[in-house]
Structures are given as C-alpha cells and as structure tokens.
Amino acid sequence: MAGFPKRTVTCGALRGVDAGRNIVINGWVDTVRDHGGLLFLDVRDRFGITQVVVDPDEVGEELLETARKLKSEWVVAIGGAVRARPGETVNADLPTGEVEVKVHGLEVLNPSKTPPFVLSDDVSVSDEVRFKYRYLDLRRPGLRRSLELRHEFFLALRKALAADDYVEVETPMLTRMTPEGSREYVVPSRVHPGRFYALPQSPQVFKQLIMVGGMDKYFQIARCLRDEDLRADRQPEFTQLDVELSFAEEEEVYAIIEKVSSAAIHEVFGREVKTPFPRLTWHESMDRFGLDKPDLRFGLEIKDLSDALGGCGFKVVDSVLEAGGLVRGLVVEGGASSMSRKKIDELTAFVNDYGAKGLAFLKQDDAGTLAGPLTKFVDDDRKAKLAEVAGFGPGDLLLVVADKAGVVHRSLGELRNELARRLDLIPKDGALEFVWITEFPMFEWSEEEGRWVTSHHPFTMPLEAVPGQLESDPGGIIARAYDLVLNGWELGSGSVRIHQRELQQRIFTALGIPDEEAQSKFGFFLEAFEFGAPPHSGIALGMERLLALLLGKPNIRDLVAFPKTASASCLMTGAPAEVPPETLAELDLEITGDDPAPDQ
C-alpha cells in the first residue's frame, strides 16, 4: 500500500509536553466509543495506547462515515493535532493519559474480522484457540512483553559475554546423528538419496571442534531440536545459551555462568542474584532431596531411617534392607493433625505412580503418643532415634518409603515437591535459588537397551578412573559433569570434555559402540583430537526455562512465539503434515504400513 501516511510517533510516545504537535500514528483500533456525537478511539501498537477524538463539527462527512465504521482490530493511519485532555478526563493509569489526538486525517489500512477471543490478558482462552490464532495471541500485552523481555535478556547476555572476550559463532543446523541421549529429527537429502541429515540436539560436537580451532572462548544463542515427549518445561525446538572455553575446568565455567547470568538478570529484571551459587554433589542431592534437580526454596529434607527402623520387625522394612535397598522418609511438621487419613491415602496413590509399593506413616500427637501402621514397631528408643535423625517430634507426621534406591529417591523427591505445593511452603516472593549439582555418575544401566548409557553425553571427562574400570565397573565412575538448577528446574548441563582420542575411543567402546561405527560416525571428531586439542569445558542453559522462572510462568510456551502442543503439533499451520507424492519420489522415499494420520 504505497503512499499511506507513515507514523511519526508510536502510540505510547505522546506526553503532555507534546500538546500542539501535528503527528501521525499507525496501529490497531482497540476500542470505539460514541459519546453523543464525539467519537473516541483508542489506537494501539506494541508501544502503548493513544486516545483519538473525532469531532463531527471539524471533519468532513467522508472521514466521519469512515470513523463510524471502525471496529476493534482494524488497522488505521491517523493524522491529527495533540492536545491536552481536560483535567477531569486525564487518565493517570495510562502513560499517554494526559493527551489525546484530535483527528484531521484517517485512512483504513486494513479491516479485520471479529477475533475469536478478546485480545486482553484478563480474558481466559483455551490453549487450543490461542495456538490456532497465535498471531492474534501475540497482540495481547502479557505475551508480547514476555517476548520483549526475552529479546532484552539475550542482548544482555551477549553484551556480558562479549565483554569477557567471548565470540559468537553459528554452528550447522544440518548435521549427522550423534548419541546424545535424545531422539533426533531427521531430514532426507534430495541430492544423496537414502541418506539423511539430523537436526541438532545441541551444537556439542561443533563447539568442541571450535575449541580445537583455537577460538578459545565461544558462545551461541543456539536453536536446538529434540524429538522428545513434551511437558511444561519442554518444546521440540528450543533455545539455549551455549558456552565453551579452552584451558578451563569446572571453576571457570561456574564463574562465567554466574557472572553473565546475574548481570543479565540485574540489567533486565532489576533483581540481585547472590553469587557464588551453592553446590551439591549428585549423591548429596539424591540423599537429601531425592532428585538431581532440587528445589531449595523450602525444607522437607529426606532422612535416612535405616538405623532407626532397621530390625524393628516390620517385614517390608527388614526385607528391603536385607536386599540392599533404602528406608527413607520425611517429616511434615504439624502434619499429625492437618493430614487426615484420606489425605495420606492420596499421597500413597501419588507415590505409587513413581513405583513405590506403599507409603508407611507414623503420627505423633502433641502429648507424644504415636499412631499409624508403624506404631507397634517403634518403641521409645526408636522414637528417640527418629527424633534425632529426622526431627520427628510432637504434632508431626512421618512418611516412609522402603524400596530399591531408584524408587525411594524418585517417589520421595516428587512427594516432597507435591507436599510443598499442597502445604503452601513455596515462597511467593519470587525467590531464585540456584544450585550447581556436581559429580554425576558417568554411566547408568538401561534396562530397555540392556547396556550402559551415559548420564549426560559420551564426551564427558571421567573424574578419575581406575585402570580397567571402564571395562569392569563403569557404574562406579564419576563424571566431571555438572547441572545448573533453579527452583527445581534443570536449566542446563555441562562438563569438562574429553580432549584425547584414546580416552574418547574407550568411552565409545564402554557404551557398546564398535570401532567401525565410532569411526563412521565420529572419525572426523576423533581425528581432530590428534591435532593439538586443548583441554576445554562448557555448558548449555535452556533460555525458555530460565525466563519462565524469572517471569513466574508455569510453562515455557509463553516464551516461544509459535509453540507446539503436547503432541508436537502446530495448530496454526497444521504441521506436521503429509508430503505430496511427487516430493516423496524426488527424495526417493516411500510411505509404508498404515496410512498417515490426518492433519491436526
């Protein structure tokens, strides 16, 4: 539309000092109000709202007729004179509330259908409707502001890293499959029939090669893609802050991440973050909180009850301990009276979902009298021991799980978080409790695959390995890996990297990757280590997760312009969708088996 009147100010710019100016604004009609002849319009763009007045006595019939046709979300260009509002009509809640624009020119740039929902933050709309009409959802102030803050936060991170001599380098989006722990999206090659690219789960291999290339300090605001089941803190495509540095170990990584994250949080959100962040080893985190992503904003720590309850005669406890399992529990202060049997039954059903076969409990009233299934197995000595090791006292409720280690950790860790929600133990002051989790197990056994797999990825340096341990006892090796956790969400993972070919080859062998396969997939990577690869370390942090926590959002989708549903579908575009037969033929592909599911 060549020649339309271009804005000279935004809809959020005008103030009292601008009275008397002639201006042009472009934007969307927010509301239309007819006050007995005078027509008032609120015109909106992403910067704010300006009130516009159409006076029938001062405009021509054509302009007046056009103005009376206007509806919400029509796109307009308006020219007029800025004037001060009469005292009684000043809107102190609006930055532009001291002034209004008296119209002398109006052009409709595009009419609009009636939107399927009111474009206001205080109107509840289903996710399905929001995602289908995401371009309209983006006009709502809350979502728009979230994306603006995302932009500002990225700028602040870039500035902080550049000030420390980091260089931003882009890595390929089309690469080959790598064993990094998640399923990858694959892309067929037209010019190489039967061969496929993989979209990157992360820039892991490339950023390590950048270190081999001597760049020394690298970062990237990187787009990553993983074909995973979705939840509140996952999307199939996401953004991470990727950092890698040479001649560095754990301490240097901790220092730069604490420095740039706290600086960006302060610059954009005006919040102080205390550094250095506390640290917990993986074993300590599991022992105290049951999970490797603990929420430190509340207590409810898990306690080892093996000594206090071992040999008590309770068959479940004794048999679990004999089999090498764990007996652990947590104390709910004041829970003896506040937690009814019905509520405890609900908690039992809750831990059942995490593999626990039951949830034993013991109550103690204010006089110290015990009640519950464990009562007959707890004498005065054991009661005193429970008080000593778990803090179990008058008025309290003790919840106990006895099972193999993985079940006990997971069920009590999730129960701890659930109790905090139910009992309103999570502070509402926006507290930010960062913590580094360190010294993860290098490997874990996969029952599904029947082999050892890496806890993080296969490029992580072992803390130390006894000669032959990779082959004889991989489960006992500790990795020089670390996670950064905030308020119970894992923000990201990092590690000291392997930089020697021989060790990297041995790790592949321990993972059951034959030499031929390792050479086929990683020959270029292994060869690079023979050309003076420096010691290096790095980390990647999920930006949507961090920003969701900073903004108090329960789901990362409000930090993504065009998110996917839980089934990884785009309701707006209909992706994923079928591909025309001629395209499949060009790619030398054929759909076999059942017919494709209909487009969503």
pLDDT tens, 536-552? Answer: 999 999 999 999 999 99
The pLDDT, as a whole number, for residue 182 is: 74
- Three-state DSSP state, 10: coil
- In the chain, pLDDT over 70 holds for what percent of residues? 98
Report the distance separating Cα 138 and Cα 558, nearest Å.
Answer: 10
Tell whether the model's pLDDT for residue 481 goes beyond 80.
Answer: yes
Q: What angle do CA 222, 223, 227 make, to 5 degrees?
A: 135
Confidence check: pLDDT of 291 > 60: yes
| pLDDT score at 181 | 60
The pLDDT score that the predictor gives to residue 3 is 84
Residues facing residue 35 across a β-bridge: 38
Instruction: Note the pLDDT of residue 597.
Output: 55
Provide the mean pLDDT of the chain. 94
The per-residue pLDDT for 600 is: 46
Task: Taking residues 63-70, report their average pLDDT.
Answer: 96
The tens digit of pLDDT for each residue in 253-262 reads 999 999 999 9
User: What pLDDT score does 79 carry?
Assistant: 97
Q: What pLDDT is recorded for position 595?
A: 57
Q: Is the pLDDT of residue 32 over 90?
A: yes
pLDDT category of residue 509 using cuts at 50, 70 and 90? confident
Distance CA 83, CA 14 (A): 10
**Range 206-222 average pLDDT:** 97
Give residue 101's identity as a one-letter amino acid code. V
pLDDT band at 180 (very low <50, low <70, confident <90, very high): low
Q: What is the mean pLDDT of residues 473-487?
A: 94
pLDDT of residue 513: 85
- Identify the band that residue 2 occupies on the pLDDT scale cut at 50, 70 and 90: low
Please name each of the domains of the chain with its CATH number.
Answer: 16-110 (2.40.50.140), 298-422 (3.30.1360.30), 440-479+500-533 (no CATH)
- Inter-residue contact 290 to 414 (CB < 8 Å): yes
Counts for the chain of helices (H) and strands (E), in that order: 18, 22
| Whole-number pLDDT of residue 468 | 81
**pLDDT band for position 450 (50/70/90)?**
confident
Whether residue 576 is preceded by a cis peptide bond, meaning omega within 30 degrees of 0, is: yes
